[in-house]
A = this chain, B = another copy of it.
Amino acid sequence: MAGGSCAMSMENPVFKAFVTYAVIVLVKTMAMSLMTAVTRFKNMSFANPEDSAGFKDKDGGKLKPVLNNPSVERVRRCHLNDLENVLPFVLIGLLYVATSPPLASALLHFRLFAGARLLHTVVYLVPVPQPARALTFFVGFATTLSMAYSAAAAVGFAV
């Protein structure tokens, strides 16, 4: 095995900070599941017949599944946007950490991304008028791309 010293270790301050920021953005993403559930109850809009089975509609009849409630769909779009952005950030972040970036530069990336994505969620759910959401999206997007470039460059674009 072609092994060597490891950046994914508790002695590496870059990795330790990455763990905290990755946990923050991943738990935030997971929290969207709870937000979706709460919004489904608030609007009595469930996707599956077995979910709505225990409830009555406003005419006293059996509640039917609802797939297009605007409030629920907004939370779900926000959740999907997190999957599209947060998961690539954590994956690219792991590779980036393994390439031993300078601590100050790494912290800047992690903080910018986490801040932008927390703000993105607030802006999406309020909702704040555009271009607020576009801006928070692009800060997170650019931060991840910068880490991706840095990691690929560090390995000399080995293919």
Q: Give the dominant DSSP class at A's interface.
A: helix
**Given A33-B141, A94-B94: A148 and B10 within 8 A (CB)?**
no
Question: Is A59 engaged at the interface, CB distance under 8 Å to the other chain?
Answer: no
Interface string of A124-138 (1 = CB under 8 A from B): 000111100100010
In the assembled complex, the CB of A29 is this many whole angstroms from the nearest CB of chain B, namely: 6
Which single residue of chain B is at the shortest CB-CB distance from A34?
B141
8 Å CB contact of A21 from B15, B33, B159:
B159
Copies of this protein chain in the complex: 3
- Residues of chain A touching chain B, judged by Cβ–Cβ distance below 8 Å, are 1-23, 26-27, 29-30, 32-33, 47-51, 53-54, 67-68, 73-74, 77, 79, 83-85, 87-88, 90-92, 94-95, 98-100, 111, 127-130, 133, 137, 141, 144-145, 148-149, 151-152, 154-159
- Excluding A10-B154, A87-B91, 10 further A-B contacts by CB distance (< 8 Å) are A2-B100, A3-B7, A4-B9, A6-B6, A6-B8, A15-B155, A17-B158, A19-B151, A30-B85, A91-B91
